[in-house]
Amino acid sequence: MPRKTSVLGFSVPPELAQEYERMAKQEKKTKSELFRDMIKLYKQYCEEKEFYRLQAQMAERARKLGIRTEKDVERLIQEARGA
């Protein structure tokens, strides 16, 4: 039966390896569990960063279009629908 996991191998400085092992012990997790948690958190961080980038980009676009309030948004939606 094929493995359901993959083994990763990479090098880090000894101090970082010790810190990683200390963190796993402190959290009462295996190093694999800690790594999976770290990847999940990093993905969340990247998604949030992208959200804020898009939010800033769209806020700038809204300013250029003169959209200041939710009423402006509602008006534009109604105009687009031809109402």
**Mind listing the pLDDT tens digit for each residue in 65-82?**
889 999 998 988 898 998
Domain ranges of the chain: 42-83
Mean per-residue pLDDT of the chain: 94
pLDDT for 83 beyond 80: no
Region 2-15 average pLDDT: 92
pLDDT for 10 beyond 70: yes
Q: What is the Cα–Cα distance from 10 to 35, expressed in whole angstroms?
A: 13
Say how many Å lie between the first and final Cα of the chain, rounded: 61
Q: Is 30 within 8 Å of 24 (Cβ atoms)?
A: yes
Helix (H, G, I), strand (E, B) or coil at 80: helix
Region 27-55 average pLDDT: 97
Q: Is 20 within 8 Å of 12 (Cβ atoms)?
A: yes
Region 31-58 average pLDDT: 97
Region 20-38 average pLDDT: 97
